Amino acid sequence: MWLRFRNWKNWKFKIKNEKREMKNLKKNIIQERTFKFFLNIIDLYKILKKSNEYAIGNQILRSATIFFPELLKQPRRI
């Protein structure tokens, strides 16, 4: 009887670990998607800057800082 109870605890602990790993995996996927989106915004800004569309490029960059507030903390290297 005691052996079954101990195995139940291990099984319960494994389920908790699996749930935690799934949450971390989902967070990582979301972070990767937002980073790819951010890179697309930067590429679009560079293209518009080359074609002298400064107003549109700055507006895109300004809207990107709404979604990515960490951009405001870092120096701009574009």
Please count the structural domains in the chain: 1
Domain that holds residue 63: 18-73
pTM more than 0.95: no
Mean pLDDT of 49-64: 73
Tell me whether residue 5 is in a domain: no
**Is pLDDT of 19 > 50?**
yes
The CA dihedral of 49, 51, 56, 57, to the nearest 10 degrees, is -20
Q: State the pLDDT confidence band at 9, using cuts at 50, 70 and 90.
A: low
Whether 57 contacts 42, CB under 8 Å: no
Q: Is 11 a domain residue?
A: no
